[in-house]
Structure 1
């Protein structure tokens, strides 16, 4: 069934208790493809739409993303959830986590980070060291919640077990999830649902593929970044994007609105992270915050791409 009402898990709240919004906003473009003025315009548009959850990372745009986001908060800080990520580079050892957390706090001029994610799984560092350090940061008041980004389901479960030894919970995870990248449905989404972890998926637009712009010959990440080009190379993905654009046109909607709303409509209640380079580009994604996708539309969108087989691979048992 699609999303109805406030289905998403409320594991995140702001310092004054404001709950996380249905959508989150990712500031990866702040200080990069979006200059200070464009970044501010997007931030303000998000506030006007009711976004309370903002996501950044230590490595984004050489630190400019964190610096700009911090400069925009002003007297709204306590209303908002500010999440950042550490250890994309340098591993998840104690020294690197402490340095990264301190740098992020300094850039954003924050005493406390609402969420600190491990940006990716580190196979070379004992998680006991990692979560002991996280516990120290929480005790010191430097972080409130723990998150994991780009972790497989088994890695999340392993992390949750070790974190519990230090009286820590995993509050939120960030997998990739969109209409043409549905691997998260196999184990990540049901695992998080069972453990009560909020899922904040990134790339709900598939690097812009699901906006329909590449079918029109427009430029973007898929034409400018070899990693994105490879990630979304299969023709079946491009066929799904065309199908989504056609469906959106029939409904008088923008395909980006449908793409984001489809992610949010998963029965486990994810909170997709939207992003853009300008307020104008952001508007169709932001519109998904108020669109309650009907069950028949959810089924039509879902049918545009292959549903992955279950974790047991016993596809004949799928209902």
Structure 2
């Protein structure tokens, strides 16, 4: 396992982060324990969670598994999405954040959460209120590093500016969606992260299973997120993506790789990425994904894979600036 620094924090994390969304859901406690031990045996010390995963059960199981060696692992959790029927049991208000972090600490059976994410931008709450609440939690030692997930680049920069202006603890880690089928992060989010020295732990490197080798134009497994989950069906509903899945699988196997670990290795090879988040429902899936650590992602191989999907246009939409056909360059 390779280790890298988490942004500017000085904390060393494994080059893979394991997402525990399956704990208590697709993976029962026994299977979750097997997955956790496989991760630890592979050298993974970085585990991603959220208060809404399996209705809080994921946090409870993770809390049980880290007992006895809490100091050896870096864990995350999140707040924003509904945790109950009450109209205020959601969002990034100070009220919901402070109540949610206490519940997460209890479920995780820990005194602190290393990285605490605002899971989604809250249009109804003043961002200054959200950031002040996070800073208060840092001052109290309940969280160490504020973080955001599913934020646009401008929202992250606004958050950084507000925190800097007030002398509050700033955002240290971001969690965007990023995979071969969803490359929007390359336009502004990843360059911004490099410029601001933010850690990046992208989720969904397999595109919800699209790039696992199980999907094609006329190929679909009997179960899986893209088969059973309306949200994922919407996210990856474009028929062209199934052509991509088929072509990617062919390319992977022509190089002697399984598609799933190659998809993770492609995400990991972006210079802004700290650690892709991988997930699994069983040991066989996880063992296959861990093969990504053995793949040498050369510039030539990355370029060949990247050519399967259109490179997103630059933020200014002036694509000529990537060529010699422009006014000038500095």
Same-fold status (TM-score > 0.5): yes
TM-score scaled to structure 1, two decimals? Answer: 0.93
Q: 5+ unaligned residues in a row in structure 2: which ranges? A: 83-89, 324-330
Residue 61 of structure 1, aligned match among 37, 50, 54: 54
Greater relative contact order, per chain length (Cα 8 Å cut-off, separation 6+): 1
User: Equivalents in 2 of 1:143, 1:280: separation in Å?
Assistant: 34
Aligned to 1:22: 15
Cα pair distance change 1:82/1:12, threshold 3 Å: farther
Deviation at 1:289, TM superposition (A): 2.9
Contact 2:179 2:263 in 1 (8 A): yes
Aligned equivalent of 2:230: 226
**Alpha carbons of structure 1 residues 293 and 312: separation in structure 2 relative to 1, 3 Å:** same
Larger Rg: 2
In structure 2, the partner of 1:128 is: 128
* Deviation (angstroms), 1:315: 1.0
| Aligned ranges 1:1-319 → 2 under 5 Å | 9-12=6-9, 19-89=12-82, 90-164=90-164, 165-215=166-216, 216-218=219-221, 219-319=223-323
Spell out, residue by residue over 1:187-235, the C-alpha distance to the aligned partner (whole angstroms, 9 max, x if none).
Answer: 1000111011011100000000001112343121001011111111112
1: CA distance, partners of 2:95 / 2:135: 14
User: Is this contact kept in 2: 1:9–1:198, CA < 8 A?
Assistant: yes
Separation (CA, whole Å) in 2 of partners of 1:269 and 1:292:
16
Structure 1 residue runs of 5 or longer lacking an equivalent are none
- Report which stretch shifted further, 194-203 or 283-292: 283-292
Secondary structure at the residue paired with 1:82?
strand
Tell me how far apart the structure 2 counterparts of residues 279 and 161 of structure 1 sit (CA, whole Å).
43
The answer to whether the Cα contact below 8 Å between 1:92 and 1:130 also exists between their aligned partners in 2 is yes
The Cα RMSD (Å) is 1.6
Deviation of the 1:20 alpha carbon: 0.9
Check conservation: 1:135, 1:166, Cα contact below 8 A.
no
Give a deviation string over 1:214-272, Cα, whole Å, max 9, x none. 23431210010111111111122212211111112112211011100000001223421
How far off its partner does 1:10 sit? 4.0
The separation in 1 between residues aligned to 2:8 and 2:61, in whole angstroms, is 26
Per-residue deviation at 1:130?
Answer: 1.2
User: After the TM superposition, which of the residue ranges 205-214 and 230-239 deviates more from structure 2?
Assistant: 230-239
CA–CA distance in structure 2, aligned partners of residues 56 and 9 of structure 1: 17
Secondary structure of 1:293's match?
A: coil
How far 1:290 sits from its partner (Å)?
3.8
- Find the residue that maps to 2:211 and give its secondary structure: helix
